[in-house]
Structure 1
Amino acid sequence: MELTIFYDGTCPLCLNEMQQLKRYDSLNRIGLEDINADDIKLRFPDLDVVRANTVLHGLQADGSWLYGLDVTAKAWGMMGKHRWIKLLRMPVIKPIADVAYLAFARNRYRVSYLLTGQKRCSNGTCNIK
């Protein structure tokens, strides 16, 4: 895998984005790992699950970590989609975008409810429309 993304599988919006991303990943370049999996710490001992629950984590093939919107920008860039996300990584915009992302991450269940009608998925299973 070129990039492994650690996401919250109980978040309807998060799960929906991961499903969309995988639809474009015909070469299987991106791996997805739900941070709520029972064996996540066994398989990824370097992952701080508590921190991963507050900010998206991505592990690159070279062993380096990406966080937050850097993960999103890297993943969609690899798929050649949503190129506008790169704008959020520009030096002038990045600090503002990162604060906005952290606010979203803290409130992802409320935002999910507003947009999907689901606050939180049970057992990592969402009924994405």
Structure 2
Amino acid sequence: MYSKEDWPLTLYFDGECPLCAREIKFLRRHAAESRLLFVDISSSVFDARALGFTFEQMQSSLHARFADGRWVTALDATLWSWRAAGLGFWAAPLTWRAIRPLLGAGYRLFCRLRPHLAWFPHPDGRRRCVDNRCAVPGSKPASDEKPASKTKQT
């Protein structure tokens, strides 16, 4: 289905999300740079508009882009990032038709709850706190624009 010309897959993730950061840390340990690249959308230098999205769209679900420019989102972005990291066996249930609707509903629920899960410990917690002082990242301003339907949630 995909050939070596399709790689690397670039995964756009929210590094401020503790659960997301844990998954990225796990994927980084397993992935080769030739197959999987990571872009933290919470970085001050990240520009969603340069990709044709709003920040809110990028934050609403996981996004990934193949080398040829094709985008995958939500469960498909998870599936392909795990495959790119050589963990396809663990991602295989995401392809099972019988449970995919249930997994999709669970993913959408997670996306709604994710902003309220910031209380989970961040895997980079020690680096974020120095001398009993912790840096709290600033929030990005909300856009007045309506998000365009650029990607399809699966």
TM, length-normalised to structure 2: 0.66
Q: In the alignment, does 2:87 pair up with 1:81?
A: yes
* Inter-CA distance 38–27: structure 2 relative to 1 (3 Å threshold): closer
Partner of 1:127: none
Partner of 1:123: 137
Does the aligned pair in 2 maintain the 1:8–1:15 contact within 8 Å? yes
Tell me whether 48-57 or 80-89 shows the greater mean CA deviation. 80-89
Structure having greater relative contact order (Cα 8 Å, sep ≥ 6): 1
Q: Which runs of 5+ in 1 are unaligned?
A: 125-129
Partner of 2:72: 66
Superposed CA deviations along residues 17-39 of structure 1, whole A, max 9, x for unmatched, are 10110111234421111112222
Q: In the alignment, does 2:13 pair up with 1:7?
A: yes
Count of residues in correspondence between the two structures:
121
Percent same amino acid at aligned positions?
29
Deviation of 1:110 (Å)? 3.9
SS of the equivalent of 2:64 reads: strand
Does the aligned pair in 2 maintain the 1:104–1:111 contact within 8 Å? no
C-alpha distance in structure 2 between counterparts of 1:10 and 1:42, whole Å: 16
C-alpha distance in structure 2 between counterparts of 1:35 and 1:11, whole Å: 11
Partner of 2:22: 16
Aligned residue among 39, 42, 45 for 1:33 = 39
Does the aligned pair in 1 maintain the 2:48–2:55 contact within 8 Å? no
Does the aligned pair in 2 maintain the 1:57–1:71 contact within 8 Å? yes
* Inter-CA distance 105–9: structure 2 relative to 1 (3 Å threshold): same
* Inter-CA distance 47–30: structure 2 relative to 1 (3 Å threshold): farther
Superposed CA deviations along residues 30-49 of structure 1, whole A, max 9, x for unmatched, are 11111122222278432432
TM, length-normalised to structure 1: 0.77
Superposed CA RMSD in Å reads 2.7
Q: In the alignment, does 2:108 pair up with 1:108?
A: no
Q: In the alignment, does 2:104 pair up with 1:98?
A: yes
Deviation of 1:2 (Å)? 1.1
